[in-house]
Amino acid sequence: MKKSFLSLFPTCLVGLLLGICNIAAAEQELTFDAAWIRAMPPGMKMTAGFGRLHNADTETIELTAFASPQFGDVSLHRTEQVDGVSRMREVTSLAITAGETVELAPGGYHLMLMMPVAPLAEGARVTLDISAEDGRVFRFELPVERR
Ligand SMILES: [Cu+2]
């Protein structure tokens, strides 16, 4: 019992070095809850991501850039109804006030992920970096799901 408890320490140190230990990712000021990426049908060159962005900080966080090593281009889009026609436009900056939650959902805000480096099967995970205007970068791991 005592031995297995102690053996956790070297394991976790290695985990931290490899970036797979959750301790380092705790207490982020920006959270992305219930986040997921839609699984792409074969041959599809773009997909969308959803979830709830929440500002747990005491000041406004202005999101200005989105990136993933698994996609050539990532941006934030918003679907709007214009004269009864649904269309998407890019949102280049999104300010989330302290304590505010912004929902990314089909028909509204969504991540637009284009030019996948490799096909992403259901169950894969996508690394997403969200940059703030003040230089902070928030990293998330999103599961690929078929819904
Ligand atoms: Cu879009």
Distance from Cα 94 to the centre of ligand 1, integer Å: 15
Place of tokens 């805000």: 109
pLDDT at 136 over 50: yes
pLDDT at 127 over 50: yes
Beta bridge partners of 74: 66, 113
pLDDT at 113 over 90: yes
pLDDT at 12: 53
Distance from Cα 138 to the centre of ligand 1, integer Å: 21
The answer to whether residue 2 sits within a structural domain is no
pLDDT at 15: 54
The answer to whether residue 7 sits within a structural domain is no
The answer to whether residue 11 sits within a structural domain is no
- Higher confidence at residue 82 or residue 71? 71
The answer to whether residue 6 sits within a structural domain is no
* DSSP character at residue 25: G
pLDDT at 10 over 80: no
Length of the chain: 147
The answer to whether residue 8 sits within a structural domain is no
Q: What does 24-92 look like in DSSP terms, one character per residue?
A: GGTT-SEEEEEEEEEPPPTT--EEEEEEEEEE-SSS-EEEEEEE-TTEEEEEEEEEEEETTEEEEEE-S
The answer to whether residue 82 sits within a structural domain is yes
**Alpha-carbon Rg of the chain, whole angstroms?**
18
Alpha carbon of residue 39 to chain centroid: 15
Distance from Cα 16 to the centre of ligand 1, integer Å: 35
* DSSP character at residue 13: H
List the one residue out of 129, 103, 109 whose CA is nearest residue 28.
129
pLDDT at 25 over 50: no
Note down the domain range covering 60: 29-145
Q: How confident is the model at residue 41 (pLDDT cuts 50, 70, 90)?
A: confident
Distance from Cα 125 to the centre of ligand 1, integer Å: 20
Distance from Cα 110 to the centre of ligand 1, integer Å: 6
Q: How confident is the model at residue 23 (pLDDT cuts 50, 70, 90)?
A: very low
Place of tokens 């259901």: 122
**Amino acid identity of 31?**
T
Q: What is the pTM of this model?
A: 0.80
The answer to whether residue 94 sits within a structural domain is yes
pLDDT at 144: 97
Distance from Cα 13 to the centre of ligand 1, integer Å: 40
Distance from Cα 8 to the centre of ligand 1, integer Å: 44
> Domain tally for the chain?
1
The answer to whether residue 132 sits within a structural domain is yes
pLDDT at 128 over 80: yes
Q: What is the CATH number of the domain that holds 100?
A: 2.60.40.1890
